[in-house]
């Protein structure tokens, strides 16, 4: 189970395209997508979900990986602590 299945699918699809058409353009596109998705998730979505759903989301994120099962889990945080 992953927290961001759409983004994981986008990254996987573009990685497949990059392997099928291995050019500098496809590699750069995959890298740009990776950076954009990481920024979106870490700086926009996760802080919003933590502020809205507090402990429920923190508990969920501590058990479920961000883009791959088991990888990118958030450490448990207290309600007053900011995420890093």
Q: Does 76 fall in a domain?
A: no
Helix axes 5-20, 24-39, angle to 10 degrees: 170
Q: Give pLDDT tens digits for 11-38.
A: 999 999 999 999 999 999 999 999 999 9
- Across the range 63-76, mean pLDDT stands at 76
Structural domain for 39, as ranges = 5-63
Please say if the pLDDT value at position 79 is more than 80. Answer: no
Name, in order, each residue with C-beta under 8 angstroms of 12's C-beta and a sequence gap of 6 or more.
Answer: none
Tell me whether residue 78 is in a domain. no
Judged by DSSP in three states, 38 sits in: helix
The first and second tokens of residue 33, run together, are 């997508």
In a domain, 80, yes or no: no
Q: How many domains does the chain have?
A: 1
Domain membership flag for residue 71: no
| Domain membership flag for residue 56 | yes
Q: Per the domain annotation, does 45 fall within a domain? A: yes
Q: Is residue 73 part of a domain?
A: no
Q: Is residue 75 part of a domain?
A: no
């Amino acid at each position: 189970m992953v927290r961001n299945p759409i983004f994981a699918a986008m990254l996987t699809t573009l990685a497949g395209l990059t392997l099928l058409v291995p050019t500098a353009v496809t590699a750069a596109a995959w890298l740009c997508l990776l950076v954009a998705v990481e920024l979106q998730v870490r700086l926009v979505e996760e802080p919003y979900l933590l502020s809205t759903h507090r402990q429920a989301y923190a508990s969920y994120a501590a058990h479920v990986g961000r883009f791959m099962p088991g990888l990118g889990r958030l450490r448990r945080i207290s309600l007053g602590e900011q995420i890093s």
